[in-house]
């Protein structure tokens, strides 16, 4: 026979509380939360049943999102970013393009690639401040691919362009 009693957080059989009770988790049933308990003193198994009552709602105010993302060659951002993030990403995109163009110009002009890679990779890594993806694997891969393509457009052999792009990747992806 099943008995009922009002005795919150205590054994319904012997009145034990606290450490003498072993709780085995909870489950929901209709509008109730059921907590299974076992009394260590008298070995009574029982269910404590609580009514589920609405309390409040928590939410975040939505930020205006941009649904259509324009050309994104460096994978700096994804759909659903705010206008502010999109503007910051576009600024970083312009700076990356400027850095790559300068690097390519200097390589084609014969400047030593070692010091060039070190200096420009520092500039690229500093762009991480914007929080729009610089330093992420996908973005770094895009930067290196565009760098390689621009080198080959300017007459650098595919083999040399690939070697230089690998060096750049090693410098920026750390």
Give pTM, 2 decimals.
0.55
Find the helix or strand (DSSP H, E) in which 138 lies: helix 137-153
pLDDT band at 157 (very low <50, low <70, confident <90, very high): very high
Q: Which of 108, 85, 93, 77 is nearest to 143 (CA)?
A: 93
Q: What is the pLDDT of residues 104-128, one digit of tens each?
A: 999 899 888 888 888 888 877 777 7
Please indicate whether residue 1 or residue 85 has the higher confidence score (pLDDT).
85
116 versus 174: the higher-pLDDT residue is 116
Res 141 pLDDT > 70: yes
Break the chain into its structural domains and give their ranges: 18-51, 74-172
Question: Does position 46 have pLDDT exceeding 70, yes or no?
Answer: yes
* CA dist., res. 12 & res. 96, Å (int): 70
């Amino acid at each position: 026979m099943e008995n009922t009693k009002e005795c919150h957080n205590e054994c319904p059989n012997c009145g034990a509380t606290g450490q003498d009770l072993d709780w085995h988790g909870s489950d929901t049933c209709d509008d109730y939360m059921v907590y299974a308990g076992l009394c260590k003193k008298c070995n009574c198994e029982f269910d404590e049943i609580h009514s589920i009552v609405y309390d409040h709602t928590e939410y975040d105010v939505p930020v205006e999102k941009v649904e259509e993302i324009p050309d994104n060659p460096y994978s700096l951002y994804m759909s659903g970013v705010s206008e502010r993030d999109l503007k910051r990403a576009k600024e970083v995109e312009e700076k990356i393009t400027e850095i790559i163009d300068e690097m390519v110009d200097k390589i084609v002009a014969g400047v030593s690639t070692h010091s060039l890679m070190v200096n420009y990779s520092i500039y690229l890594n500093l762009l991480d401040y914007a929080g729009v993806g610089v330093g992420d694997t996908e973005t770094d891969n895009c930067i290196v691919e565009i760098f390689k393509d621009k080198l080959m457009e300017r007459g650098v052999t595919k083999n040399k362009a690939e070697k230089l792009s690998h060096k750049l990747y090693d410098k920026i992806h750390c």
